[in-house]
Structure 1
Amino acid sequence: MLRTVNRALIGIVGLVLLLLGGSVLAVGLGVRPPSWWIHDSRHDVLLSNAERTRWQDDGWWWPTVIGVLAVVVLLALWWLTAVLRRRRLAEVLVDTGDGEGALLRGRALEGVLAGEAAELDGVSHAHVHLTGNRTAPRTRVQLLLEPHVDPGTALYHLTTQALMHARNSAGLAALPAEVRMKSVKHRAERVS
């Protein structure tokens, strides 16, 4: 979602700046603007003294300006923190025993863990998301279970097989996991 908001926001701002800048440049180069346009000639100023001070004495002007600017600043800060915050772990530090270690891509570990979890008996689909930091990763696992599977058994197999293999292969002391399970939607079975 953030990627879509970024692209839409950058596209809209870019289009507005391109149109305004292009029109000011065209008028400055001597192109005759239409009668309804805000600039009349190449010697016209962007904002005249009358335009700048038109609503200055009205009581609603300054609260409106301050309110709009505050909303713009808050939206910009929200957008900046959302862009800078990483939700997905990019790499995991694997202890190789030589003191330096190796880096394992987070997506690779997620893919292997999801693949092994999906192969468990009764698991229809698995999705894994790594969080935390590179020396102490945590996982969020979402399992889509078949109707006949006991959730406790599926959780036991996940922790003793897939999560244990991932923890051992990455050389981690612990790999905490948050597991969410859903059942596949299915029709009611008839009993005869």
Structure 2
Amino acid sequence: MRSLNAQLTQYAEYHRDPRNIQTHLVGVPMIMLAVVILLSRPVLVLGGLPLTAAFAVGMAVCVFYFLLDLRYGVCMALVIAAMLAVGQWGAAQTTVFWLMSGIGLFVVGWVIQLVGHYFEGRKPAFVDDVIGLAIGPLFVLAEVGFALGMRNDVRLAVEQGAGPVHRRVGGSVS
């Protein structure tokens, strides 16, 4: 398995335009929540515990994040736990609400993402490496942390590998 810095650097190579990063701060959580909501039905109750595909996927992704980095793993586990709670609530609503909220968030989130990649002038990272679907939420968390002055060692490693964040204007970098 590639290291945290290698994973974030590869993902960052597709995300150097600040407008693309900004769209990801909105679009990625929307898509992530949409998937959690949609995978929160059906519920299988085992030993009094509600189990869903959302829970199984969430736990698998948490293991992946913990293997990459303990601190990011804890933060991502908290985010996923909150999304699982929202997903469980959404799945308990009417079928129309459950489907419309899940599909609506998914579609709008991807539209926002595609606008960002239009600015970037590059396809999404997961097109070349499907692991980008798991790294995207971690990238968003890392970018928020970087903006708050956290994990500068990781930020510097990512910038050294992927280059600095810059704005593209008409196909050229400014």
Q: TM-score with structure 2 length normalisation?
A: 0.26
Larger strand percent: 1
Larger Rg: 1
